[in-house]
Amino acid sequence: MRSRAQSGFTLLEVVVAFVVLALVMAAVFEVFNAALVRTADQADRSEALAIAQSRLQATGSDGNLKEGDSMGESADRRFRWTTSVKRFDEPGPATGGGIPMQAIYMLFQVEARVAWVGPDGKERDLRIATMALGPRPT
């Protein structure tokens, strides 16, 4: 018969080692999975920001801002965007010599909203807005 030093591991020790290994692997998997979800969410957020910036830039790019809303979808139909142009109420007339600035131009508030479904299945949205100077409607 062999001595205890030469006998190796018992079945119970091997089973316990595998259970500990499985628990550690499950925890590591959860950490990597959470990191992948965050990475996918940030990629979607970056793409939504690019779409919103593009929509803001395209709105009034011909120099003719008009009040109203427009909407559409990205080519892959994952993102829906809405662009809104509203008059910005100015507090009072501009001062200075010559023709008042308000007689020719006015401020518009331009907002772009992009909505999409995140990797976790929840609805997400991103909004950015800016002010734009456009000709006063006649």
Give the start-to-end residue ranges of the domains of the chain. Answer: 9-135
Predicted confidence at residue 116, as pLDDT, reads 96
136/120 Cα distance (integer angstroms): 45
DSSP state of 37: H
Element holding 3 (H helix, E strand) = none
Asked if the model's pLDDT at residue 30 lies above 90, the reply is yes
pLDDT digits 0-9 by tens, 79-119: 999 999 999 876 655 555 555 555 788 889 999 999 999 88
For the chain, give the mean pLDDT: 86
Give the per-residue pLDDT at 100: 58
For 18-28, write each residue's pLDDT tens digit: 999 999 999 99
* pTM (predicted TM-score): 0.68
